[in-house]
Amino acid sequence: MFCEKAVELIRELHRMTDGQLPAFNEDNIRQVLEEMKALYEQNQTDVNEAKTEGRSELIPTIKFRHCCLLRNQRCITAYLYDRLLRIRALRWEYGSVLPTTIRFHMCAEELEWFNQYKKSLATYMRSLGGDEGLDITQDMKPPKSLYIEVRCLTATGDGMVIINSVN
Amino acid sequence: MSYMPVSPGVGMEENFLSLDDILLSQERLPCKTDTEFPGLGFLEKNADSRHIPEGTKMEMPLWLAKGLYERKRRVISVELPKVYREGWRTVFGADANVVDLHKMGPYYYGLGSQMLHFDSPENLEIAQTVLQTFIGRFRRTMDSSQNAYNEDTSMLVERLDCLERALFRQGQSGLNGFQLWEKGRAAQLTASSLVTNYRKRKITDLQA
């Protein structure tokens, strides 16, 4: 049956439930793309024959191959997307410098994506909390103490004011 | 945990990018071709010809069956797997808890919901049985996931299907979180599990 290689990619990721990033399976992807190319070319031939010679009995087969193309496409897209979710998580768990072992598991495009993500996150963090920015990747759990110190920014006279400023 | 995979779809829907749904749709179904498929004979190991003839009984993965099936045309017919047929439905009606859903599935609920795409005259009964089975079994799954602390849960999980196992894991995660909080360890700084696992890997790489 077609599309077996594509599902292998999915199984490989599905096995790693804790979010670890396996090595980029370039070999497998290449084989899936080759299968897609072959299916597509066979379908092109059959579509032309069906149109020019009226061979409508080829249509079920064309549909069959088309399902396989869609399946391969789905598997590859989901594989790449899930890997990006894992890579994104790495920024939050590891920080902005990844160990070399993990970097080796990423393809060039994924490394580029990680760098862009880091930049976007840094830009965003710089825009928070006034001049200094705020590193939101630290202190991801809420504070345990009942009270926190606040610094009053403006004198507003009497009355209760709640200011979101943490020391 | 910062890694949040795409969750599976609900009911008859699939999520395109969900790894769980992709694996679910890999499950094989008994089918029959209602038309000839020229040029694909090599897929059917029994066939001598270059074509798959009309009336061939073959197994197809769910994704293919869904893709080929058409309500108004005779392309393929999809048979109900045994576990959704009347015989088994009666067993589920009698006592849903005794069934080993991992052996009968492992995607009993997922596949059962997907079967509804094929317009079987028994669709209503299938849907009702799948729902009632879930209701009948849920209590036990929930109870055991909330009470099994720090012990080997393999016996409890053995006969659960994939959906129930996911629920069980969620229950366990909640229970463990609560226990940590009770012991005052919820706020302790711990290394991320992702980081710890990578370090473990590194040592075994050196030993290899």
CATH code, A4-165: 1.20.58.1030
Question: Do A80 and B61 contact (CB within 8 A), yes or no?
Answer: no
Record: contact A88-B39, CB cut-off 8 A: no
Q: pLDDT tens digit string along B152-186?
A: 888 889 999 999 999 999 999 999 999 988 887 76
Phi and psi at residue A55, in whole multiples of 5°?
-85, 80
pTM of the model: 0.86
Q: Say if residue B123's pLDDT is above 60.
A: yes
Q: Say if residue B128's pLDDT is above 90.
A: yes
Report helix, strand or coil for A43: helix
Q: What is the pLDDT of residue B191?
A: 66
Q: What is the pLDDT of residue B102?
A: 95
Q: pLDDT tens digit string along A106-154?
A: 999 999 999 999 999 999 999 887 777 888 888 777 777 777 777 777 7
Is it true that B1-79 and B85-207 share their CATH fold?
A: yes
Predicted ipTM beyond 0.90:
no
Rounded to a whole number, what is the distance in Å from the CA of B122 to chain A's nearest CA? 27
Phi and psi at residue B109, in whole multiples of 5°?
-70, -45
User: How far is the C-alpha of B201 from the C-alpha of A18, rounded, in Å?
Assistant: 14
Own/partner pairs for A97-105, CB < 8 Å, 24+ apart? Answer: A99/B198, A101/B198, A101/B201, A101/B202, A101/B205, A102/A21, A102/B198, A104/A23, A105/A21, A105/A22, A105/A23, A105/A24
Q: pLDDT tens digit string along A39-87?
A: 999 999 999 999 999 999 999 999 999 999 999 999 999 999 999 999 9
Average pLDDT (B117-129) is 95
Q: Is 1.20.58.2050 the CATH classification of the domain at B1-79? A: yes
Q: What is the pLDDT of residue A106?
A: 97
User: How far is the C-alpha of A19 from the C-alpha of A102, rounded, in Å?
Assistant: 12
Average pLDDT (A8-21) is 94
Q: Which residues contact B147 (CB under 8 A, 6 or more apart)?
A: B175
- Chain A neighbors of B2, CB-CB under 8 A: 19, 88-89, 92-93
Nearest to B39 among A61, A88, A101 (CB): A61
At residue B204 the predicted structure's pLDDT band, cuts being 50, 70 and 90, is low
Average pLDDT of chain B is: 89
Nearest to A85 by CA among B186, B192, B5: B5
Q: pLDDT tens digit string along A83-100?
A: 999 999 999 988 889 999
Q: What is the pLDDT of residue A162?
A: 60
Q: pLDDT tens digit string along A154-167?
A: 776 666 656 555 55
One-letter amino acid of B109: Y
Query: Which two three-digit tokens encode residue B107?
Result: 């995607």
Secondary-structure percent of chain B, ordered helix, strand, coil, rounded to 5: 55, 10, 40
Q: What is the pLDDT of residue B77?
A: 96
CA distances from B58 to A43, A54, A145 (A): 22, 28, 64
Q: What is the pLDDT of residue A62?
A: 97
The residue extents of the domains of chain B are 1-79, 85-207
The B-side interface with A (CB below 8 A) comprises 1-6, 16-20, 22-23, 26, 35-40, 43, 61, 63-64, 67-68, 75, 186-187, 192-195, 197-198, 201-202, 205
Question: Do A1 and B26 contact (CB within 8 A), yes or no?
Answer: no
The residue extents of the domains of chain A are 4-165
Q: pLDDT tens digit string along B11-29?
A: 999 999 999 999 999 999 9
Q: pLDDT tens digit string along B54-109?
A: 999 999 999 999 999 999 999 999 999 999 999 999 999 999 999 999 999 899 99
At residue B199 the predicted structure's pLDDT band, cuts being 50, 70 and 90, is low
Rounded to a whole number, what is the distance in Å from the CA of A109 to chain B's nearest CA? 20
State the virtual CA torsion across B139, B142, B144, B150 in degrees, nearest 10: -170
* Shortest CA distance from B66: residue in chain A: A67
At the topology level, CATH places domain B85-207 in Methane Monooxygenase Hydroxylase; Chain G, domain 1 (1.20.58)
User: How far is the C-alpha of A86 from the C-alpha of A19, rounded, in Å?
Assistant: 6
Q: What is the pLDDT of residue B158?
A: 93
One-letter amino acid of A61: T
Question: Do A29 and A10 contact (CB within 8 A), yes or no?
Answer: no
Record: contact B39-A14, CB cut-off 8 A: no
The A-side interface with B (CB below 8 A) comprises 1-3, 7, 10-11, 13-14, 18-20, 42, 46, 57-58, 60-61, 63-64, 66-68, 70-71, 74-75, 77-78, 81-82, 85-86, 88-90, 92-94, 99, 101-102, 141, 144
User: How far is the C-alpha of B203 from the C-alpha of A63, rounded, in Å?
Assistant: 50
Q: pLDDT tens digit string along B31-60?
A: 999 999 999 998 987 667 889 999 999 999
Record: contact B202-A93, CB cut-off 8 A: no
Q: What is the pLDDT of residue A158?
A: 65
